Amino acid sequence: MPFRPRYTGLVGKYRDRLPVHDDTRIISLGEGNTPLIRLNNIPRELGDQVDIYVKYEGLNPTGSFKDRGMTMAVTKAIEEGSRAIICASTGNTSAAAAAYAARAGITAFVIIPDGKIALGKLAQAMMYGSVTIQIKGNFDDGMRLVKEVADHAPVTIVNSINPYRLQGQKTAAFEIVEELERAPDYHCLPVGNAGNITAHWIGYCECSSASGDHVTEACTLCGGHCPYGGGAIVGNRPRMVGYQAAGSAPFLRGGPVEDPETVATAIRIGHPQSWEQAWTVVRESGGWFDECADAEILAAQKLLAEHEGIFCEPASATAVAGALRDIRSGKIPPGSSVVCTLTGNGLKDPDTAIRQAGSTVMTVEAELDAVKHAILDNMT
């Protein structure tokens, strides 16, 4: 068995396509390089009409795609001399910010909505040593406060309004193209703050552009004149499809949603910070936005776990719920290749999973007959 170079994270792998210098101190936890899993059983139930892949971002170091952006945001914060970072979060951003701040040896301040964050994510932020501030409001209130505080305190914002976040997150598209040897026909994502759909589109555009001019207007770092464009390695780009939870769907309502509510806590956002960029992505790619009810989201989460052995958090399942509906209706036509991003691990929100699992834990005597009967009575 030959030796291979040790993987050191996405900045190490894609350094020539990211805004870092030769002497930049990279803050990494080995993020990226997540599996692109081809679904076997669910497509069979659909008549094998399409190839469906899931990009399982829940296997990043803190369990979500946020690590891709955070390695870049914290790396650049350190490069610029910052000693503290700050974010508003529904959970995953706070976990990633706290972990990468700990790695860098700086302070993370995280603002979270009181009582509206999954316990797995809260535990992460606390264990990583962040200064955690719960506010009596929602994520959008927290985001407003973060932007206001940054004008009065020496902290670097690491939410997705930080353009370096999207530079890190675009690398997921690089990995997908490398494995498929082309871009998929459709890429489906859950949409909350709308940074991730924007980042993926930036990545696909860079992979398919013959020059650095007019790569995409969705990139706020370069305004379309991309220093990393050129030398296209694929000739196609996907249609980008964003799915929101019905109780938190500003892109479907045409404007901000006050007091958004959904079981998919990671996308419980009424004022997306990447609003204009996401609309640009949909326009340029020929994609669309749609919404899913909480019941559809939870059903898709359970379907993935029971039929494919993949455990994601509810927000992640939104992409699968929407994609399956559009495949069944023919909006995504037969013969298409589809990638769905699973943004976070199911362990992020164990309470929701346990409530909807549907099977109870059996308690029996510690005797052979009791265990044998429990097994035989439940054979399928």
Predicted local distance difference test score (pLDDT) of residue 187? 98
> In the block, which residue shows the tokens 């803190």?
62
Closest CA to 306 of 52, 63, 42: 42
Predicted local distance difference test score (pLDDT) of residue 38? 98
Listed in sequence order, the residues at least 6 apart from 6 whose beta carbon sits closer than 8 Å to its beta carbon are none
Predicted local distance difference test score (pLDDT) of residue 48? 73
pLDDT tens column, 10-45: 999 999 999 999 999 999 999 999 999 999 999 998
- Is 285 in contact with 237 (CB distance < 8 Å)? yes
87 and 153 share one domain = yes
Domain annotation covers residue 79: yes
pLDDT tens column, 62-84: 999 999 999 999 999 999 999 99
Over residues 136-162, the mean pLDDT reads 91
Domain annotation covers residue 88: yes
Domain annotation covers residue 379: no
Domain annotation covers residue 193: yes
Over residues 268-286, the mean pLDDT reads 95
Predicted local distance difference test score (pLDDT) of residue 221? 84
- Is 111 in contact with 136 (CB distance < 8 Å)? no
Closest CA to 314 of 266, 244, 247, 354: 266
308 and 342 share one domain = yes
Q: Indicate the Cα dihedral angle 339, 340, 344, 345, nearest 10°.
A: -80
Q: What is the mean pLDDT of the chain?
A: 93
Apex CA 110: angle with CA 349 and CA 100, to 5°? 85
257 and 189 share one domain = yes
- Is 292 in contact with 322 (CB distance < 8 Å)? yes
Closest CA to 288 of 241, 333, 336, 330: 241
Closest CA to 331 of 250, 255, 239, 256: 239
- Is 369 in contact with 339 (CB distance < 8 Å)? no
Is the pLDDT at 47 greater than 90? The verdict is no
**Does an H or E element contain 11, and which?**
helix 10-13
290 — pLDDT class (breaks 50, 70, 90)? very high
Question: Which one is predicted more confidently, 170 or 112?
Answer: 170
* Amino acid (1-letter code) at residue 265: T
Full strand arrangement of the beta sheet holding 36-38: 36-38, 51-56, 337-342, 186-190, 239-245, 288-292
228 — pLDDT class (breaks 50, 70, 90)? confident
- Is 176 in contact with 36 (CB distance < 8 Å)? yes
291 and 198 share one domain = yes
| Count of CB atoms situated within 10 Å of the CB of 295 | 12
Cα 272 to Cα 140: distance, rounded to the nearest angstrom: 8
Predicted local distance difference test score (pLDDT) of residue 180? 97
Predicted local distance difference test score (pLDDT) of residue 246? 97
Domain annotation covers residue 375: no
Cα 158 to Cα 82: distance, rounded to the nearest angstrom: 12
Cα 207 to Cα 229: distance, rounded to the nearest angstrom: 7
Q: Could you tell me the residue range of the domain that residue 245 belongs to?
A: 10-63+165-356
| Count of CB atoms situated within 10 Å of the CB of 59 | 15
Is the pLDDT at 359 greater than 80? The verdict is no
245 — pLDDT class (breaks 50, 70, 90)? very high
Q: Cα dist. 81→25, 76, 84 in Å?
A: 11, 9, 9
Is the pLDDT at 285 greater than 80? The verdict is yes
166 — pLDDT class (breaks 50, 70, 90)? very high
Domain annotation covers residue 348: yes
Cα 163 to Cα 72: distance, rounded to the nearest angstrom: 9
98 and 27 share one domain = no
366 — pLDDT class (breaks 50, 70, 90)? very high
103 and 157 share one domain = yes
Final residue in a domain of this structure, among 111, 133, 163: 163
Cα 207 to Cα 180: distance, rounded to the nearest angstrom: 13
**What sign does the CA torsion over 56, 301, 127, 75 have?**
positive
Predicted local distance difference test score (pLDDT) of residue 39? 97
Predicted local distance difference test score (pLDDT) of residue 32? 98
Number of domains in the chain: 2
Predicted local distance difference test score (pLDDT) of residue 230? 72
Q: What is the CATH number of the domain that holds 250?
A: 3.40.50.1100
Predicted local distance difference test score (pLDDT) of residue 159? 92
Is the pLDDT at 125 greater than 80? The verdict is yes
76 and 45 share one domain = no
User: Picking from 60-74, 256-270, 279-293, which range would have the lowest pLDDT averaged per residue?
Assistant: 256-270
Predicted local distance difference test score (pLDDT) of residue 108? 96
* Amino acid (1-letter code) at residue 55: K
211 and 147 share one domain = no
Is the pLDDT at 61 greater than 90? The verdict is yes
Domain annotation covers residue 3: no
Domain annotation covers residue 361: no
Predicted local distance difference test score (pLDDT) of residue 333? 95
Predicted local distance difference test score (pLDDT) of residue 183? 98
Scanning 181-293, the segments in alpha helix (DSSP H) are: 195-208, 250-253, 275-285
Predicted local distance difference test score (pLDDT) of residue 127? 96
Predicted local distance difference test score (pLDDT) of residue 279? 98
48 and 172 share one domain = yes
**Does an H or E element contain 84, and which?**
strand 84-88
> In the block, which residue shows the tokens 């994270």?
9
Is the pLDDT at 229 greater than 90? The verdict is no
352 and 221 share one domain = yes
Final residue in a domain of this structure, among 106, 128, 163: 163
Final residue in a domain of this structure, among 140, 163, 186: 163
35 and 135 share one domain = no
* Amino acid (1-letter code) at residue 57: E
Q: What would you measure as the largest C-alpha separation in the chain, in angstroms?
A: 72
90 and 147 share one domain = yes
